[in-house]
Amino acid sequence: MFNLYEIYTCHPETGERGWDIEFVIALSQKDVATFPYFDCVIMKDGTFSTCKLSAANSGYPMTDAVKQLLGAA
């Protein structure tokens, strides 16, 4: 359910693609595409399964959908 994706982001001002790499917790590849300044997925690095505590305490940024499920939005 909670997956860790490695993604490229776009530059927030210029829109330059591949500007930075982020690790993001998302529900799916479609969900990770909603992350601010998302460019593309590099790879799916792993999963937290359904363990909300592990996902919440991971320290990784999350999509809004994950935040809602964790009650953090």
* pTM score over 0.95: no
Residue 51 has a pLDDT of 79
Question: Which residue in 18, 24, 20, 19 sits closest to 6, CA to CA?
Answer: 24
For 61, the token pair is: 């940024």
The domain total for the chain is 1
Q: Quote the CA–CA distance of 53 and 56 in Å, as a whole number.
A: 5
Q: Quote the CA–CA distance of 12 and 20 in Å, as a whole number.
A: 10
Facing residues of 4 across strands? 25, 46
Digit-by-digit pLDDT tens for the chain (73 residues) are 899 999 999 999 999 999 999 999 999 999 999 999 999 999 999 887 777 888 888 999 999 999 999 986 5
What is the domain extent for residue 24?
A: 2-70
